Structure 1
């Protein structure tokens, strides 16, 4: 007789930016008695609301949200930090008899929690880091990115050339360990055995052209809501241009406009392009996630059908009455 699975349940909803995770997560949370944990690497920062599509408090419909606004934009927050804070949040949610649900698009962060990655200290070299920073200033971001592509094409492929902080960190890891960061992260994933949770992983996808149209519309909405002023506010507060905050998607494209390096239309076009590329990288990452069950939104255009499909997947993993939660 098969032994019962006593691991605590964890529901995970992932997908590319602008696919529609937020609205569905609220619907599911209300039906399942769940609390939401943001799986977005940038929503942890205070004052970064518009560019991260952070759901305003008044629109959360009373559903508790965790790991939002927990640190300052000038601070660093790593995947290991997220794993530790998220694990604590999951434990707390379970202790109150609620279902934890991670919702987001930062693949490494989500996987690190789901499979208990063992993060290693790869060391640091401040002298090397400064040398690379000076190199970027002298030869440009593309030249620095090319150096990374030469030793770690996989990591270079998922980092934008303007993401100087992460590009330098990846080069630093190679310098200190002699191994590409992508190889070390792959080893961490490979070392992870059985998940500490009873997982239900759901991925949302849709036609690529339709997704790109939604992305363009989202960027336009962010700009109408005041994205430029939000970025300017961070700069005025002295947040370093090399910080994770101002290297984030939606922020790093606006900075050159504010510093006079790009005109407004060029900055907007760059932001839309970078967001489309980011969505493509997200999909590529999620396709390699174990146990992920994909739901194609194009095949379920009616919200009631989509909700029923999702509920069916969840009921197959967790002991919920599908008729009850779909009512």
Structure 2
């Protein structure tokens, strides 16, 4: 029987401290980091996606960051194929792969081997559904999905128009719901250790607000302005990302900067809540509380001991 490939995954809500922990662990365990974030794949979108800095990336090899332009298509199936290949390559180098991020669907598609069935497409239907979103609003389209596939509707945010349209399309064309085209393996194909980071809600929300303020100070408005100046359409999936979508009306003179920033903070807090809901379903995750900064060294020590025990056969450990 083939030996399973090793894989460590670090998940949790935005701003909880995943990047800092991943850098420490990857340095200790001769690791390489695979970004498990659906937005960090885009070039030219650095500040709003909270990528590891060039300095941090020079210390530890990082993958699936800056691999496509904002107007290129990218999907969970794309991520899955790339991540699976990278995990094998990193294991072959006798290094330890770490998937780090907060996009639950992307990460679970790898850890539990989602199988995505090919489904037929209907471009005319897509256009008609897009017109509904444009004329009646994203919520109206989402309600349409809710009526036919409540499970998928609960998982998808109304503003995730592209995936809402895809879910309706699958149902209309095949008569089956999106979930029926995604098979989740009961057990992971990997020798897997999943780390979940959590934090007191008020403290997490405070950190989110501070992070948004720092992004604005670091030039997020100018980053979005440059993307618009380069001709990237505001309706692109990339431009609908948190921090980008909210600043576009400000740059068009439709709302104040204060309102835009408040909307980024509010939507990021809601996003963090959805992230936690997704990961709480995954029973394989061992959770660590990051609320008290004084306890971070203890968390690091505990996780280090867990990894040493699990992967004791790794070289140089």
Q: Tell me the TM-score normalized by structure 2.
A: 0.93
Secondary structure of the 1:122 match is: coil
* CA–CA distance in structure 2, aligned partners of residues 241 and 170 of structure 1: 22
**Aligned match for 1:197, one of 178, 190, 199:** 190
Number of the residue aligned with 2:26: 29
Deviations along 1:103-158, whole A, 9 cap, x unmatched? 11111111111121111122211111111111122222222222223333343334
Deviations along 1:230-279, whole A, 9 cap, x unmatched? 11222222222222201212211222222333322221111111111111
Structure 2: gaps spanning 5 or more residues: none
Number of the residue aligned with 2:248: 255
The question of whether the paired residues in 1 share the 8 Å contact of 2:212 and 2:264 is answered with yes
Report the Cα offset of residue 182 of structure 1: 4.0
Superposed, which structure 2 residues align to 1:136-147 within 5 Å?
136-147=133-144
**Aligned match for 2:11, one of 5, 9, 14:** 14
Superposed, which structure 2 residues align to 1:1-327 within 5 Å?
6-185=3-182, 188-189=183-184, 192-298=185-291, 301-319=294-312
Equivalent pairs counted in the alignment come to 316
Structure 1: gaps spanning 5 or more residues: none
The question of whether the paired residues in 2 share the 8 Å contact of 1:14 and 1:105 is answered with yes
Distance 1:18 1:8, change over 3 A: same
Distance 1:252 1:159, change over 3 A: farther
* CA–CA distance in structure 2, aligned partners of residues 242 and 216 of structure 1: 26
Q: Tell me the TM-score normalized by structure 1.
A: 0.90
CA root-mean-square deviation: 2.0
The question of whether the paired residues in 2 share the 8 Å contact of 1:38 and 1:66 is answered with yes
The question of whether the paired residues in 1 share the 8 Å contact of 2:115 and 2:181 is answered with no
* CA–CA distance in structure 1, aligned partners of residues 73 and 137 of structure 2: 24
